[in-house]
A and B are shown apart, each in its own frame.
Chain A
């Protein structure tokens, strides 16, 4: 069974640009969560989607947004990029809610903002 797939794996953007990251969950999983990881802040929760609805949201500005499609694939978008948005963005899927079972993480998308 294929794992969680995140694309692209690496990308470089400049300040002010926007970026879209994609996450394909494990087949049958309906919950997708997004995390930002930086050396200084660790793993920080961005948001969780379940059945195309955002169910939980972390403390990030409105520049960070996401959505989930009917096939459970999810995308997250960051607009007006800042240097501090440079991070590893991780997606995790689970069968139901994010905490009724274990989370399965992808390898992440490493974003560098210049």
Chain B
């Protein structure tokens, strides 16, 4: 599986957009980018995933670069409840590989 690199921590002002980057320079053509987040003391929560097109749902937007070597998760209007650890994962949707979480990015939304 391709590996991902994320900054260990980030701050974001409440109400502003939070842009969380993820580098996956060795991603293969059939690998998807998944994002999860984990709020303190809770289980991780699925956010969004994509292959090569930008994706948007009620929680966030996912922007994947044209060469697919990096992506950005965007929380358009961050709230204090978005303070969490965000995990970027790359995996092949059709295989049965184990889902491995890296250290993620700890996002702090500041009032």
Question: Could you mark each residue 29-73 of chain B with 1 if its beta carbon is under 8 Å from any beta carbon of chain A, else 0?
Answer: 000001010100111111001000000000000000000000000
| Interchain CB contact under 8 A, A58 and B44 | no
Inter-chain CA distance A92–B44, complex, in Å, is 9
Across the two chains, which residue of chain B brings its CB closest to A3? Answer: B43
Give the residue name and chain of the B residue nearest to A33 (CB).
B99
Question: Could you tell me the distance in whole angstroms from the C-beta of B45 to the nearest C-beta in chain A?
Answer: 7
Q: Which of B46, B94, B98, B102 has the most CB of A within 10 A?
A: B98
Query: CB-nearest residue of chain A relative to B101?
Result: A43
A57 to B62 alpha-carbon distance, docked (Å)? 30
Measured between beta carbons, the chain B residues less than 8 angstroms from A107 are 42-43
- A52 CA / B46 CA spacing, docked (Å): 24
Binding site of B, secondary structure by majority: helix, strand, loop or mixed? loop
Is the pair B99, A42 in contact by a Cβ cutoff of 8 Å? Answer: no
Is the Cβ of A92 less than 8 Å from the Cβ of B98? Answer: no
Q: Is the CB of A97 within 8 A of B96?
A: yes
* Interface residues on chain B, number (Cβ under 8 Å): 25
| Residues in A neighbouring B103, C-beta threshold 8 A | 42
- Whether A103 touches B36, Cβ cut-off 8 Å, given contacts A90-B44, A92-B43, A108-B43, is yes
Give the CA-CA distance A103 to B102 in the complex, in Å.
Answer: 16
The CA-CA distance from A42 to B87 in the complex, in Å, is 11
Inter-subunit contact B98/A48 (CB<8 Å): yes
Which residues 73-95 of B sit at the A interface, judged by CB distance below 8 A?
A: 87, 91-95
Which residues of the partner chain B approach A48 to less than 8 Å between Cβ atoms? 98
Return the 9 tightest CB-CB contacts between A and B, nearest first. A105-B43, A102-B46, A43-B101, A56-B98, A99-B91, A97-B96, A45-B98, A98-B99, A105-B44
Q: A99-B97, A105-B43 are in contact. List 13 more A-B contacts (CB 8 A).
A: A4-B43, A42-B101, A42-B104, A45-B100, A48-B98, A55-B96, A98-B96, A99-B93, A102-B49, A105-B44, A106-B43, A107-B43, A108-B43
